Amino acid sequence: MVAAVTDEHDSPDRMRARIDALCAPGAICGGEVAQCIETHVSWVLLCGDRAYKFKKPLDLGFLDFSTRAQRLRACEEELRLNRRTLPEAYLDLVALGGSADAPALVPWSSASGADDGRDDLPEPGVRMRRFDAGAVLDDRLARGALDGTEIDALAYHVAAFHAAAAVADPRRTDWGAPRGVREAALQNFEQMQSLNTHDDAGDPLQRLRAWTAEQSVGLEAVFARRRERGRVRECHGDLHLGNIVLFDGAPRLFDAIEFSPALRWTDVAADIAFLVMDLLAHGRDDLGWRFLNGWLEHSGDYEALMVLDYYLVYRAMVRAKVALIRATQSDGAARDAMRAELHRYLALGERLATPRRPALLIACGLSGAGKTSQSQGLLEARGVVRVRADVERKRLFGLAPLMRSTESAEAGGAGGDVRARMYDDAANERTYARLAEVAETGLRAGWTVLVDATFLQRARRERCRTLAAQMGVGWGVLCFDAPLDVLRARVARRLAEGSDASEADETVLMRQRTLNEPLGTDEARHALRIDTTQAVCWDAAMLARVDALIRYAGPEHRAGGDEGAT
């Protein structure tokens, strides 16, 4: 789209002249030259430990910065939105005053002058604390520096951000309504089809468009229900690796979409889908599934699995569209690179749209056996979704995963001993019912689900086996175990560190041993025993054993057949 401006005083050329003058030695950096980074919609000046961002006077259709009043509103929104996640870096508004010959930067509150057509009117900008570009997660990933602990911290950060974000009122806005969701997704294909001048992208585009149209209809009730339940919120809107920075040692979001309410008022599942898709596109499925499981654990929003594939494909198609647009604007090698990127995202979209074969697994064992820590590799290798009894039990009592039961607002009050009530028979039944509910949701959405609990009683295990049969999916038991002295040491260390949701101590462990009902012969045929004395290696051979277990337990083998995978 052709850019438009309101008058000659708002022209990009005049603005650029003032920006260039600010970069001169001594203008704002003492004797140094400020570095200018130009994007298609802004200029960012880097100077010492500060950064200054100015909007270009453009109207691109999807954003309109053509007047000073609109640019000021956009700067104010940028401050407001990004202070939700990174207030330390988003400092205040500044005014670029003076002329091209004598530019000046002052606090916006000190600026004056009506919009009377003068070319020296103050221009609004955002002043930020500068951070190292090497701390941005896309750069860290490219250097092999991004690790699982940072992903875990990011999952917690994003879940907390979503929990605090403003909720769309379905009675007053259309944000997140099924029709709008469908139109936004299908619009990508209309735009790509109009730009695609090569036949090689036609077939995948048609297949993905048909899948998206079908899913839009099939998920309409889910979209509507999530909107009514407050899952449509004022999100980030552009949550990919390039907009997350390791700031003071912790991952933080920045550069939320300020120019389009429609792009940021969205389902939280659509927000996280961008990041998961970005990690998958970079070939880091392990980190993508790790982030997903961390976010689900902290948010408790397992219903998001019902729409996640839809939004993953949507985000991949947004990136495919951008690649196609850039291809039409390029020549030679640059065009070929963008065409290759287009096909990479189309292939990812088709992969994400391909139905999985869901299965139900349970991770059983005494406290300290490694059900959680040693199943992590399976989650990352296969995109398995895990739900933990320790976490869901606490959620039922209003506790965050890492909160101690003694920290509950109920502790010491009329409600009595919260810890005792958390582990009584009624709480146990509620917890296992919640685990079954989450498992069914995940299975219906097409995901393999791992239920992480002690499963001491056969009846608890049988409940999951029955669910798998009712859903027509494979099922299996992963039995984690280690010697008693190892279990004792682990629960003591874990409790002292306070780094896990479990509050089991040695007393709980010893009681579990007396209550534990060993697997029966029929169960053992469906079980894989895993010794966690040493860290479990989820290599191809180990994954093949899990696959064999699931196939054996699947619907086609219910009448009997192969020996188990024990």
Tens digits of residue pLDDT in 395-437: 999 999 988 887 765 444 444 477 778 888 899 999 999 999 9
| Sign of the dihedral defined by the CA atoms of residues 380, 381, 384, 389, in that order | negative
Query: Per DSSP, which regions of 209-261 are E strands?
Result: 232-234, 244-247, 250-253
What is the 8-class DSSP label of residue 257?
Answer: -
Write a three-state SS string for 475-499. EEEEEEECCHHHHHHHHHHHHHHCC
Q: What is the pLDDT of residue 265?
A: 97
565: Cβ contacts below 8 Å, ≥ 6 apart: 476, 527, 528, 545, 546, 548, 549, 552
**Residue 451 backbone phi and psi in degrees, to 5:** -95, 120
Q: For residue range 248-294, what is the model confidence (pLDDT) as tens digits?
A: 999 999 999 999 999 999 999 999 999 999 999 999 999 999 999 99
Q: For residue range 471-521, what is the model confidence (pLDDT) as tens digits?
A: 999 999 999 999 999 999 999 999 899 888 888 889 999 999 999 999 999
What is the 8-class DSSP label of residue 122?
Answer: -
Q: What is the pLDDT of residue 117?
A: 45
Cα 46 from chain centre: 29
Task: Please give the Cα distance from 124 to 107 (Å, whole number).
Answer: 9
Residue ranges of the chain whose pLDDT lies below 50:
1-9, 113-119, 410-416, 555-566
> CB–CB of 481/532 below 8 Å?
yes
> CB–CB of 155/108 below 8 Å?
no
> CB–CB of 267/225 below 8 Å?
no
Q: Does residue 566 sit in helix, strand or coil?
A: coil
Helices then strands (H, E): number in the chain? 21, 15
CB-side neighbour CA atoms (13 Å) of 62: 8
162: Cβ contacts below 8 Å, ≥ 6 apart: 233, 235, 268, 271, 299
Cα 8 from chain centre: 43
